[in-house]
């Protein structure tokens, strides 16, 4: 009997771990956090007035948080009467539930012009992880919205709240959730994602937070967490938080270090919007993962928060001179450019979609290595800045503008 019970326990344990390891993660900027979405048979030419609007909702309140879409649900953060909420919709736009997550960021002085939700949720199996702009982080049941655990990056980890609030969309692995409170001691923290208990904390660089959502990289045999602080692009060992390397970045304005780096082994690509910085940069990570070498920089190619796409070593990003730029893998020079809105960029099915800061949404086809326009339209619903990143899932393009979320048919 004892042997039988042991076997049963082992079977249950293996089953539990198999479930954890097999779960699909739905998160910021797509499956790999690199702006690429696994879509096919998308429209190559949009109608003159833009793709068909399938539905919209005007219930989100202020914010810039992008949605995350699973096979049957959509999760997005918003603000109502100063409170942060995690909203859950079905894929036809019906609200299924909403759960409060403490007070939301409303700003002070200049930053009061930019109130509302910032991070995108991260969905792993039946759990949703997210944070308010004031650093209250929580895990919710995806089916019901019930809060499972909560923590506060300021009070629990002595974190640092910068001028425009927390904007980190959490990254997870099989067992852990990683966050960047930005404190002197608890600079980077890893949590058991099922319970919220602290797995480790790291001083890292003891540098203050900015607005980057990090990536997890498997570099040879080493798993590293790569993020951006106010002064550095840096990496820590995901196992224990040990600082592995750092790369200095100049800064002039708050808010310019918002882009998530992109890894294409063994290289790391990144773009900042600072006037006195590296602009676009390509780094080579050494085989042991403990240092980086600068391959090239292109200071005039700057983008503050619109992201970048890397395809076969070529870096694609938009710039304030209203171009979509293609940077040469060897030296970082602009090898091609096409007129485009300046804003947020994603990629799917050999197509780039750019949601401009002026409200224009444009399609560009990548055919034979060349970019050609595929149509554009103007976002007329919503208010305030056009800063949210677009998302594409199941042939639907999702655009958030302030309190409004829109779903367009692009397949």
260-276 pLDDT tens trace: 999 999 999 999 988 88
In the predicted model, what is the mean pLDDT of residues 126-133?
98
User: Which of 141, 134, 237 lies closest to 194 in space, CA to CA?
Assistant: 141
* Domain 41-58+307-386+388-411, CATH among 2.40.128.630, 3.30.2040.10, 3.20.10.10, 2.60.40.10: 2.40.128.630
Predicted confidence (pLDDT) at residue 134 exceeds the cutoff of 90: yes
- Three-class SS state of 138: strand
- Residues of the chain within CATH 2.40.128.630 domain(s) are 41-58+307-386+388-411
Domain 64-211: which topology? Methylamine Dehydrogenase; Chain H (2.130.10)
- Residues of the chain within CATH 2.130.10.10 domain(s) are 64-211
User: Which of 181, 91, 94, 169 lies closest to 124 in space, CA to CA?
Assistant: 169
Query: What's the rounded Cα separation, in Å, for the pair 282 and 285?
Result: 10
User: Which of 391, 387, 395 lies closest to 359 in space, CA to CA?
Assistant: 387
13-28 pLDDT tens trace: 444 444 444 589 999 9
Query: Do 291 and 306 form a contact (C-beta atoms < 8 A)?
Result: no
323 pairs with which residues across the strands?
A: 319, 339
Question: Is the alpha carbon torsion for 396, 211, 110, 75 positive or negative?
Answer: positive
Query: Do 295 and 284 form a contact (C-beta atoms < 8 A)?
Result: yes
User: Which of 356, 357, 405, 351 lies closest to 46 in space, CA to CA?
Assistant: 351
Q: Do strands 334-339 and 243-248 pair parallel, antiparallel, or not at all (unpaired)?
A: unpaired
User: Which of 170, 229, 125 lies closest to 28 in space, CA to CA?
Assistant: 170
| Range of weakest confidence among 62-71, 119-128, 255-264 | 255-264
């Amino acid at each position: 009997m004892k042997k039988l019970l042991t076997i049963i326990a082992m079977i249950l344990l293996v089953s539990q771990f198999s479930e954890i390891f097999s779960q699909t993660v739905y998160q910021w900027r797509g499956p790999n956090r690199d702006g690429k979405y696994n879509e096919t048979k998308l429209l190559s030419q949009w109608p003159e007035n833009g793709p068909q609007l399938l539905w919209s909702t005007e219930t989100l309140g202020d914010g810039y948080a992008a949605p995350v879409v699973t096979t049957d649900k959509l999760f997005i953060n918003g603000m109502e009467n100063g409170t942060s909420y995690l909203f859950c919709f079905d894929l036809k736009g019906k609200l299924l539930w909403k759960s409060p997550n403490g007070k939301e960021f409303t700003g002070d002085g200049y930053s009061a012009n930019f109130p509302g939700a910032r991070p995108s949720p991260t969905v792993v199996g039946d759990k949703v992880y997210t944070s308010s702009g004031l650093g209250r982080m929580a895990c919710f049941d995806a089916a019901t919205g019930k809060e499972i655990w909560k923590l506060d990056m300021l009070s629990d980890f002595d974190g640092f709240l910068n001028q425009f609030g927390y904007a980190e969309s959490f990254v997870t692995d099989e067992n852990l959730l990683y966050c960047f409170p930005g404190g002197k001691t608890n600079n980077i923290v890893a949590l058991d994602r099922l319970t919220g208990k602290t797995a480790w904390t790291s001083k890292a660089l003891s540098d203050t937070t900015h607005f980057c959502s990090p990536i997890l990289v498997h570099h040879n045999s080493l798993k590293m967490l790569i993020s951006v602080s106010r002064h550095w692009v840096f990496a820590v060992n995901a196992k224990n938080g040990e600082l592995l390397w750092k790369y200095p970045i100049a800064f002039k304005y708050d808010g310019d270090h918002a882009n998530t780096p992109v890894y294409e082994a063994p290289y790391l690509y990144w773009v900042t919007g600072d006037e006195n910085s590296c602009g676009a940069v390509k780094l080579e990570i050494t085989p042991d993962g403990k240092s980086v070498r600068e391959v090239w920089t292109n200071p005039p190619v700057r983008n503050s928060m619109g992201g970048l796409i890397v395809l076969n070593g070529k870096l694609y990003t938009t710039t304030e001179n209203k171009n979509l730029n293609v940077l040469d893998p060897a030296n970082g020079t602009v090898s091609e450019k096409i007129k485009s809105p300046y804003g947020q960029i994603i990629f799917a099915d050999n197509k780039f979609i750019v949601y401009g800061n002026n409200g224009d949404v444009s399609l560009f086809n990548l055919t034979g290595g060349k970019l050609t326009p595929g149509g554009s339209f103007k976002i007329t619903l919503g208010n305030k800045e056009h800063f949210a990143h677009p998302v594409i899932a199941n042939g639907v393009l999702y655009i958030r503008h302030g309190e409004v979320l829109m779903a367009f048919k692009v397949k």
